[in-house]
């Protein structure tokens, strides 16, 4: 008898339980980086400036339960919003599943290890600065949060 397929291969985003939904977050922290949008052109720029609640080592929110009260513009992702938001990183599990793609090899649900997102070089660990120390965000514009990451498997160089 074949093993059952994992929930993310059998359910649409809208059908997932709250626990399943939350488990899709890979802990990369890229969505917690500030973005700048040009008022005239609507062009989007990514920064390496992290929300003050993002733990820069774990790449997880330090006060997830109260984040929306403490950071009023923090976005609560829903299946509908995932399909509309243009700033989710291409590596984001929510975005990948909404686009009909598989989860990446380094995703904790696939690898079984929450550290693979960091080992693969996908997370913001070592690449971001807290908004409390950053100064003007315009001085921290970078392009990597909006690009598909070039990952590396532990013990291998440059594996896609």
Which pLDDT tens digits describe the chain residue by residue (160 residues)?
777 999 999 999 999 999 999 999 999 999 999 999 999 999 999 999 999 999 999 999 999 999 999 999 999 999 999 999 999 999 999 999 999 999 999 999 999 999 999 999 999 999 999 999 999 999 999 999 988 887 877 665 444 4
Tell me the domain boundaries of the chain: 18-144
Instruction: Say whether 26 sits in a helix, a strand or coil.
Output: coil
- pTM, rounded to two decimals: 0.88
Structure tokens at 64: 């997830």
Long-range pairs of 96-102 with CB within 8 A, sequence gap ≥ 24: 97/8, 97/13, 97/24, 98/13
């Amino acid at each position: 008898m074949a093993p059952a397929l994992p929930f993310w291969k059998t359910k649409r985003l809208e059908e997932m339980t709250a626990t399943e939904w939350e488990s899709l977050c890979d802990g990369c922290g890229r969505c917690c980086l500030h973005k700048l949008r040009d008022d005239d052109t609507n062009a989007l720029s990514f920064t390496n400036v992290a929300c003050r609640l993002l733990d820069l080592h774990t790449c997880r929110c330090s006060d997830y339960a109260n984040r929306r009260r403490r950071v009023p513009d923090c976005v609560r992702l829903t299946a509908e919003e995932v399909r509309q938001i243009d700033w989710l990183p291409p590596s984001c599990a929510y975005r990948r599943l909404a686009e009909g793609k598989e989860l990446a090899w380094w995703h904790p649900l696939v690898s079984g290890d929450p550290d693979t997102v960091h080992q693969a070089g996908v997370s913001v660990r070592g690449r971001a600065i807290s908004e409390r120390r950053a100064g003007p965000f315009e001085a921290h514009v970078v392009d990597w949060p909006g690009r598909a990451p070039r990952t590396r498997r532990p013990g291998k160089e440059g594996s896609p």
